[in-house]
Amino acid sequence: MALHNLTLTQISKGLEAGDFTSVEITQHFLNRIKQFDQGENGINSFITVMEESALADAKVADERRAAGNATAWTGVPFAHKDIFCTDGTLTTCGSKMLSNFVPPYDATVVENMKREGAVCLGKTNMDEFAMGSSNESSYFGAVKNPWNFDTIPGGSSGGSAAAVAARLVPAATGTDTGGSIRQPSALCGLTGLKPTYGRCSRWGMIAYASSLDQAGPMARTAEDAAMMLNVMASFDTKDSTSIEQDVPDYTATLNDDIAGKVIGLPKEFFPESLNGDMKQAMMNAIAEFEKLGCTVKEISLPSTDLAIPAYYVVAPAECSANLSRMDGVRFGYRCEDAKDVEDLYKRSRGEGFGDEVKRRIMIGTYALSTGFYDAYYVKAQQIRRLIKNDFVKAFNEVDFIMGPVTPSPAFKAGEKSGDPVEMYMEDKFTLSCNLAGLPGMSIPAGLVNGLPVGLQIMGDYWSEAAMLNAAHKFQQATDFHHAAPQGIE
C-alpha cells in the first residue's frame, strides 16, 4: 500500500515495526503537498508548510525511537489548523490581521503533540477567525474539496479536512465553535470529533467564541480520532474553563460490544424538507447500528430551531469582545499613516478584517450595547439552557443521538457566499451541540451525488470513549470510511 493511504494507526505501527522511518514518511507527505496542494490548481489546504522543521523533527523522532523512548505518536506526521499558536511559526487564523503574526508560545494542544514527538507538517487553511462554513472567507484563498474541485470543503476547519481527505497528511487538528470540525469532516468524508466543552485546552487557540470553542481531531477513522484525542485532551490550569477530569485511553474501549445501546433519532433532525437522498443515507447508516444490536427510538429536541438564532447572538457577542485585542498596537496588521490613535484602531481593524468577521463583530457589538444586553445576550443564554435541558432529558432515555451533520452534501464554491443568512443555515444541525457543550462527531455515511455525507453522533457529557467505540464498531462492519476522492492517487 502506498504510504499515504495508511491510516494514522497503521503509520504508528509501521514506525514501530521499522517498515519505514519518520524521515521517509514525512518526506513522502511533504512531496504530496508540493504535488497537489500548491500552485494555481492546487487544493490550497495549507497556509504554511513547515518543511524544514518537519524534517528536523522527524530526524529527532527516529533517534528517539532508536533510543527506545518512542510513544504511539513519535515520528507520526500530522498538521495543525492555523488557529493554534505555534512558537516561532506564522499563525494567521486565516486573516490579513494576523498575516505577519509569529506567536511567542505554543498552544497547549501543540505542546501536547510535541511532547509525544509527533511531526507537524504545517498549518492548515481556515475561514477567517473560524467564522464560516465554506472556507471561502480565508484571506489566503478558498480551499478546494478534493472530491470535486468545484465544491467547497466546508468550514471553518476546511483546510484540515481537505488535507486529510486528499491524503496530504494522515490527520489534522480542528476546532469547532458551531460545527467547524463536524461539517467539513462530513463534506470531505472524514471522521471528526468535537469533544465536551473543557476536554481540550483552549490555551493558545485563538479565541472566536470562548464559551463554545473546542478543539478536536480530524482523521480518516474513529480509531485514528481516538489515538489523536488521547494526546490532544488534557486538563490545563492555563485555561480557566478546562475541566479537571482524567483522560481515559480512548483506544482501549474501541472494540467494546455496543449491542443494547439505544439510539435516539430526533424528529427535528429529519424534517420534511430534508433532501431524500440525505435521509436515505442516514437511515442506511443507522440500519448498520441496528445490525450491531442497537435499538432505535424516535425522540424530540423541541428547542433545536432556536439554536441558530441563539448561536448568532452568543458567538458574535463573544467574538466582538475577543477580537477587540486586534488593534494594530501590539501585534498584527497596522494601517499606514494613522493620523491619530482612533484612526489607527479603526483603519487597522477595517483593513485587517474581512467582511464576515466585520459583520459578526458588528452584530456582537450591537447585541452587547447599552439597553440591548438583556434582549439579546441574556435571552440567548436562557435559550442555551432550554437546549441543554432537551438533551439532558433525551440522554435519560438514549445512549446516543444521531442525525445528519449537514442538510446536503458540499455545495458549489460561490453559491452561498453572497448571502450570510443562507450560509448560517448550513450549521443548523451542528450548533445545538456547541450551545449545550456536548460532544458531537461526524462519521462517513456514504455518498450523495458522488459527494460524501456525514452521520452525526451526539453523546452525553464526557462520553467521547463510548462515541468512538460505537463509531469504530460501525467502521469495522462497513466501508464508507474507505471511500477516497479520485484523481489524487
Partner 1 sequence: MALERSDVTNIADLARLAIAEDNIGQYQEELSSILALVEQMNAVNTDGVQPLAHPTDAVQRLRADVVTEENHREKYMANAPAQENGLFLVPKVVE
Q: Report the residue number, 278 or 307, with the smaller CB distance to partner 1.
A: 307
| CA pseudo-torsion sign 415, 419, 421, 423 | positive
Residue 327 in the binding site for partner 1 (CB under 8 A): yes
Is 156 a known active-site residue? yes
Q: Report the residue number, 367 or 468, with the smaller CB distance to partner 1.
A: 367
Residues 182-221 that bind partner 1 (CB under 8 A): 196-198, 211
Helix (H) or strand (E) holding 49: strand 46-49
In angstroms, give the least distance from the CB of 347 to partner 1: 5
Residue 96 in the binding site for partner 1 (CB under 8 A): no
Cis-peptide, bond into residue 234, ω within 30° of zero: no
Residue 332 in the binding site for partner 1 (CB under 8 A): yes
Residue 101 in the binding site for partner 1 (CB under 8 A): yes
Candidates 19-27, 69-77, 272-280, 436-444: pick the segment binding partner 1 (CB under 8 A). Answer: 436-444
Candidates 116-124, 154-162, 170-178, 355-363: pick the segment binding partner 1 (CB under 8 A). Answer: 355-363
Residue 379 in the binding site for partner 1 (CB under 8 A): yes
Distance CA 68, CA 356 (A): 50
**Nearest to 446, CA basis, from 489, 483, 487:** 483
Distance CA 159, CA 189 (A): 13
Please name the residue that has the C-alpha cell 443548523: 428
Residue 136 in the binding site for partner 1 (CB under 8 A): no
Residue 331 in the binding site for partner 1 (CB under 8 A): yes
Q: Report the residue number, 128 or 223, with the smaller CB distance to partner 1.
A: 128
Q: Report the residue number, 41 or 370, with the smaller CB distance to partner 1.
A: 370
- Within 10 angstroms of residue 240's Cβ, the number of other Cβ atoms is 9
Q: Among 59, 274, 359, 408, which residue interacts with partner 1 (rule: CB under 8 A)? A: 359
Could you tell me which residues are beta bridge partners of residue 447?
A: 452
Residues 284-323 that bind partner 1 (CB under 8 A): 303, 305-306, 308-310, 312-313, 320
| CA pseudo-torsion sign 278, 281, 286, 290 | positive
Pairing state between β 77-81 and 119-124: parallel
Q: Among 68, 104, 276, 450, which residue interacts with partner 1 (rule: CB under 8 A)? A: 104
Residues 402-431 that bind partner 1 (CB under 8 A): 420-421, 424
Residue 18 in the binding site for partner 1 (CB under 8 A): no
| CA pseudo-torsion sign 252, 224, 123, 162 | negative
Residue 362 in the binding site for partner 1 (CB under 8 A): yes
> Residue type at 317?
A
Of 12, 156, 242, 463, which residue is the catalytic one? 156
**Nearest to 122, CA basis, from 69, 162, 149:** 162
In angstroms, give the least distance from the CB of 273 to partner 1: 17
In angstroms, give the least distance from the CB of 333 to partner 1: 8
Distance CA 145, CA 153 (A): 4
Q: Report the residue number, 290 or 305, with the smaller CB distance to partner 1.
A: 305
Residue 338 in the binding site for partner 1 (CB under 8 A): yes
Of 180, 234, 320, 432, which residue is the catalytic one? 180
Residue 273 in the binding site for partner 1 (CB under 8 A): no
Candidates 10-18, 23-31, 246-254, 327-335: pick the segment binding partner 1 (CB under 8 A). Answer: 327-335
Residues 39-78 that bind partner 1 (CB under 8 A): none
How does DSSP assign 183-246, residue by residue?
HHHHHHT-EEEE--TTSB--TTB--SSTTT-EEEEEESSHHHHHHHHHHHB---TTSTT-----
Residue 237 in the binding site for partner 1 (CB under 8 A): yes
In angstroms, give the least distance from the CB of 305 to partner 1: 7
Residue 132 in the binding site for partner 1 (CB under 8 A): no
In angstroms, give the least distance from the CB of 437 to partner 1: 2
CA distances (Å), 413 to each of 148, 156, 328, in order?
Answer: 10, 14, 32
Is 180 a known active-site residue? yes
Residue 345 in the binding site for partner 1 (CB under 8 A): yes
The end-to-end CA distance of the chain, in Å, is 11
In angstroms, give the least distance from the CB of 54 to partner 1: 23
Residues 442-461 that bind partner 1 (CB under 8 A): 461
Question: What is the spatial order of strands in the sheet that 440-448 belongs to?
Answer: 46-49, 119-124, 77-81, 171-176, 214-219, 191-194, 440-448, 451-459, 400-404, 262-266, 295-299
Distance CA 350, CA 328 (A): 11
The grid coordinates of residue 117 equal 514527538
What distance lies between CA 285 and its chain's CA centroid? 22
State the catalytic residues.
Answer: 81, 156, 180
